[in-house]
C-alpha cells in the first residue's frame, strides 16, 4: 500500500516537521490535537485536524483508544507517532495493526524487544555489537569477582545480581578496593534480596554519548552515520552534532557497521537510533539502547547526508523498499543543533511558557530552524519546553560553531525566555570549541557559574 492519508499523533515542532515532509510526498495530513493545543501551528498547517481530548497528555496524546478512534474516524491509512508520547508503545502499534492502519515505525515486536533493556542487550550481543563489558552472570565469591574484574578492566561497578535500579552500586578503582567493597556488597545483597550474588560491570569514566542513525525497510538496513550528543543536563541533550569528530575513520566505520548489523538482525523498519557510550581513552564503544522512532536531533544527520529521514521512514512504512543503498550515503561538512527551550537558564532553567511577541528568525545558507512558533502564540504549559531547534551546517566544525554563534545573535523571540543564552555561552567556550567534553561535563560547568560569567561579561 502507499500512504495517502497520514495521521500525526504528536504536537509541537515535530508535528510541523512531519506535515511538511508528508506534504512534499503528496500525502494528505490529519493533525491530532488536545484542547490545550487548538491554536498550535501544526493544526493550522495540516489539511485537517481533529481534537482527541483534554489538555493533559494522559487524556489525549497518551490515550491509545482515543488516538486510534480519531485515526479511524478520519479515515487515516497511516499514523506517524513522532517522538515521546506513544512513539515507543508496542500496545499502540498493535492497536493500529488491529485497526488496519499502518504505523510509521517498526513492528510492535521490535518495539517491545528493543524497549526491554535485557532483551536489547542480548540482541546486541547476538549481532556482535559490543556492550559494556561485565560478568557473564552471577558471581558468588570475592576471588571470583577479582578474577572477572581483571578481564573486564578497572574501575568496575559492583552490583547485587538480584537487585534492580541503582541500589547498592559500588565502584572499585583497583583490586585492593574490590576486595574491601565486594564483601560489603555481598552482605548487603544478602540482607536486601536474600541472595549475596554479585554482578560486575566496567565503570566507563566520563563517556561520550554517540549514536548511529539507521534506516530499514524490514529487510535491508543502512546507516546515515553518527551523531555526538554529550552535552547534556539532567540526562537531556541540549546540543547535538553530526559527525562525532572524536572518532577516527576506522572506529566510525566499525561503529556504524555494528548498528546496521543489529538493525538488520531485528528486521528493522523505519528510522531508528542506536545509542552508545564511547570511552575515548580506550577508543571503545558500547551499545546501551535503541530508540525505535525518529529523534529530536535527526536534522543534524539530514544536514550532513542530504537524506530526508522523515520522508524516508514514511515511504518504507507505506511498504516501499529503501530508496537508498549504503553507497548512496555520504557525509559533507559538520552540523550542530541546539535546543531552544522555553526555560530561563539564568533562573535554574525555570520553565517559561510565555506569549510569542515579535519574532526574528535566523536564515541563510546552512541555517535551519525547526519550530512551531508564530507571533501572538501563547505557549501552553502542559507539555515539554522544546520550542525549536536551531541547526547549522558548515564545511568544518569550527566554522559550524561560528555560524551557530552568528545565527544565535540573529535569533530574537520577544516575550519569551529561552535557552539561547546558554548556547551563546557554550559556542564561545574554549572547551566546547576544542570538542573537549563528555556526558558529565555540562552540569559541573553550569555549577561553576560559567553561564553567569559569560552573560554578565565577568561582572556579577
At its nearest, how many Å lie between another protein and the CB of residue 416? 12
Q: How near is the Cβ of 341 to another protein at its closest, in Å?
A: 8
Nearer to another protein, 101 or 386 (CB): 386
Instruction: Tell the smallest beta-carbon distance from residue 356 to another protein (Å).
Output: 14
Question: How many other β-carbons are positioned within 10 Å of the β-carbon of residue 124?
Answer: 26
Consecutive H or E run containing 337: strand 334-341
Tell me if 40 sits within 8 A of 17, measured CB to CB.
Answer: no
In a 10 Å sphere around its CB, with 0-12 CB exposed, 13-18 middle and 19+ buried, how is residue 301 labelled?
A: buried
Give Dmax (Cα) for the chain.
68
Task: Provide the binding-site residues for another protein, judged by CB under 8 A.
Answer: 36, 55-56, 342-343, 350-351, 353, 381-385
Number of H helices, E strands in the chain: 16, 20
CB of 383 to another protein, least distance (A): 7
Active-site annotation holds for 293: yes
| Whether 161 contacts 147, CB under 8 Å | no
Please give the Cα distance from 257 to 379 (Å, whole number). Answer: 42
CA dist., res. 188 & res. 168, Å (int):
8
**Residue placing its CB nearer to another protein in the complex, 19 or 373:** 373
Say whether 181 sits in a helix, a strand or coil: helix
Nearer to another protein, 56 or 155 (CB): 56
Q: Of 81 and 84, which has the nearer Cβ to another protein?
A: 84
Q: What are 285's strand-pairing partners? A: 278
| Phi–psi pair at 302, nearest 5 degrees | -60, -40
Catalytic residue among 11, 227, 252, 293: 293
| H-run or E-run covering 51 | strand 48-51
Query: Other C-beta atoms within 10 Å of 141: how many?
Result: 13
SS3 for 440? Answer: coil
Of 319 and 357, nearer to another protein (C-beta) is 357
**Nine-digit cell at 448?**
561553576
Q: Residue 168 or 351: which CB sits closer to another protein?
A: 351
Q: Shortest Cβ distance from residue 407 to another protein (Å)?
A: 24
Residue 212 to residue 176: CA distance in whole angstroms: 38
- Give the span between the Cα atoms of 398 and 336, in whole angstroms: 11
**Measured from the CB of residue 352, what is the shortest distance to another protein in angstroms?**
8
CB of 381 to another protein, least distance (A): 4
Rounded to whole angstroms, the Cα distance separating 453 from 459 reads 7
Q: Which residues are catalytic?
A: 293
Amino acid at each position: 500500500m502507499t500512504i495517502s492519508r497520514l495521521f500525526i499523533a504528536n504536537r509541537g515542532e515535530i508535528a510541523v516537521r512531519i506535515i511538511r515532509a508528508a506534504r512534499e510526498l503528496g500525502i494528505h495530513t490529519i493533525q491530532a490535537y488536545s484542547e490545550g493545543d487548538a491554536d498550535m501551528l501544526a493544526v493550522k498547517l495540516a489539511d485537517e485536524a481533529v481534537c482527541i481530548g483534554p489538555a493533559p497528555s494522559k487524556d489525549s496524546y497518551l490515550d491509545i483508544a482515543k488516538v486510534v478512534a480519531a485515526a479511524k474516524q478520519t479515515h487515516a491509512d497511516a499514523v506517524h507517532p513522532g517522538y515521546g508520547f506513544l512513539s515507543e508503545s508496542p500496545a499502540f502499534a498493535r492497536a493500529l495493526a488491529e485497526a488496519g492502519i499502518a504505523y510509521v515505525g517498526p513492528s510492535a515486536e521490535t518495539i517491545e524487544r528493543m524497549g526491554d533493556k535485557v532483551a536489547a542487550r542480548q540482541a546486541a550481543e547476538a549481532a556482535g555489537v559490543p556492550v559494556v563489558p561485565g560478568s557473564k552472570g552471577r558471581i558468588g565469591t570475592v576471588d571470583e569477582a577479582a578474577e572477572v574484574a581483571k578481564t573486564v578492566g578497572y574501575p568496575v561497578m559492583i552490583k547485587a545480581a538480584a537487585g534492580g535500579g541503582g541500589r547498592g552500586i559500588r565502584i572499585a578503582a583497583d583490586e585492593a578496593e574490590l576486595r574491601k567493597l565486594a564483601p560489603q556488597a555481598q552482605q548487603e545483597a544478602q540482607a536486601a534480596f536474600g541472595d549475596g550474588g554479585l554482578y560486575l560491570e566496567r565503570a566507563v569514566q566520563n563517556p561520550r554519548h554517540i549514536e548511529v542513525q539507521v534506516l530499514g525497510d524490514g529487510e535491508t538496513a543502512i546507516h546515515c552515520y553518527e551523531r555526538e550528543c554529550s552535552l547534556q543536563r539532567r540526562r537531556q541533550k541540549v546540543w547535538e552534532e553530526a559527525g562525532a569528530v572524536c572518532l577516527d575513520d576506522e572506529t566510525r566505520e566499525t561503529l556504524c557497521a555494528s548498528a546496521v548489523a543489529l538493525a538488520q538482525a531485528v528486521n528493522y523498519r523505519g528510522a531508528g537510533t542506536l545509542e552508545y557510550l564511547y570511552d575515548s581513552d580506550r577508543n571503545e564503544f558500547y551499545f546501551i539502547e535503541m530508540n525505535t522512532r525518529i529523534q529530536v536531533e535527526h536534522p543534524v544527520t539530514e544536514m550532513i547526508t542530504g537524506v530526508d529521514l522523515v520522508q524516508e521512514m514514511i515511504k518504507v512504512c507505506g511498504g516501499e523498499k529503501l530508496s537508498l543503498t549504503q553507497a548512496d550515503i555520504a557525509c559533507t561538512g559538520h552540523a550542530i543543533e541546539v535546543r531552544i527551550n522555553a526555560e530561563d537558564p539564568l533562573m535554574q532553567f525555570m520553565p517559561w511558557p510565555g506569549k510569542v511577541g515579535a519574532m526574528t528568525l535566523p536564515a541563510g545558507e546552512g541555517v535551519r530552524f525547526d519550530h512551531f512558533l508564530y507571533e501572538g502564540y501563547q505557549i501552553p504549559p502542559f507539555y515539554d519546553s522544546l520550542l525549536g531547534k536551531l541547526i547549522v551546517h558548515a564545511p568544518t566544525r569550527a566554522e559550524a560553531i561560528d555560524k551557530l554563534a552568528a545565527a544565535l545573535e540573529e535569533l530574537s523571540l520577544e516575550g519569551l525566555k529561552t535557552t539561547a543564552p546558554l548556547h551563546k555561552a557554550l559556542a564561545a567556550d574554549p572547551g566546547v570549541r576544542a570538542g573537549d567534553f563528555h556526558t558529565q561535563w555540562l552540569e559541573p560547568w553550569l555549577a561553576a557559574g560559567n553561564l553567569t560569567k559569560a552573560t554578565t561579561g565577568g561582572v556579577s
